[in-house]
Amino acid sequence: MKSINVTIIDPIGIHARPASMISSTAAKFQSSVTFKNGEKSANAKSVINLMALSAKQGNSIEIAVDGADEDAAIEAIKKVMEEEKLI
């Protein structure tokens, strides 16, 4: 299992467009991908779950990836979040 902590910098937080991009990227991998914001956690392969996290600007999010392709998955998700200017 691999995990990283990131801080959301987007003033809107995780909204529909980046949630969709994260979800479609996570779905390409066998590994489970979980985002955690405080006490809330979400399966990153679900747009609805990601949006339900209510991750706002300044929130610290833990991204945990577990599975055979966890290294590639965590890097791909981090890249998408950087491209979407979330982190």
Which positions are annotated as active-site residues?
15
Q: For residue 37, report the phi and psi dihedrals to the nearest 5 degrees.
A: -125, 100
Q: How many CA atoms lie within 13 A of 46 on its CB side?
A: 11
Q: For residue 29, report the phi and psi dihedrals to the nearest 5 degrees.
A: -115, 150
